[in-house]
Amino acid sequence: MYKLFGKITDPNIESIINSKLNFDNLNKDQIYDIHVDFYNSDLEEDMLNVDVSYEIKRVHYLFIKKIRTMFENNQIKINEFYLMGTIVDMKENEINISILKSKGDSKKNVVWPCKEIFLFEDQKNKLDALLFSNQISEEDYESNLEFLKDELNIYENDEEHKYIN
């Protein structure tokens, strides 16, 4: 994993990444997947507010395009590109890039501007399945849901709290 500091919107993000990565160490015959976690400053103010916190923006796809182009210019093939925003366990303006051997065979871009909502939805689906199959009670479901929200630092106002299902 490569750790660097900058914003995905920086006009010189390519040079920041280029200074950290050594393309000569990558096998040009291998196909790779890229996983990028970035500090998403949109989440700082109102975490999971309905306004902007977890919407996919044009800048996310522009960043992916820049990085894909940088790799292509170095004759490195990329299949899957995962871009995940968060503010938990990252410093401000931190970007972590992992380059892994690809297990897939198709090109795709996956953007999750808010890692916390991704994790929340996945775990909530598991809790929903347990509730619907009567493996946990409604009280256990609600307490696990609250615990999950606390664990992921998901904040909500009192009015939204009334509508938890």
- What residue segments make up the domains of the chain, in order of their start? 2-113, 118-161
Whether the pLDDT of residue 66 is over 90: the answer is yes
Average pLDDT estimate for 59-88: 92
Question: C-alpha distances in angstroms, 152 versus 20, 35, 81, 122, 123?
Answer: 30, 20, 24, 12, 11
Comparing 70 with 158, the larger pLDDT belongs to: 70
Q: In the predicted model, is pLDDT for residue 27 greater than 90?
A: yes
3-state secondary structure of 84: strand
Average pLDDT of the residues in 137-154: 74
Burial class (CB in 10 A: 0-12, 13-18, 19+), 129: exposed
pLDDT at 97: 94
Question: pLDDT value at position 78?
Answer: 95
pTM of the model as a whole: 0.69
What pLDDT does residue 151 have? 64
**What distance in Å separates the CA atoms of residue 16 and residue 4, rounded to the nearest whole number?**
8
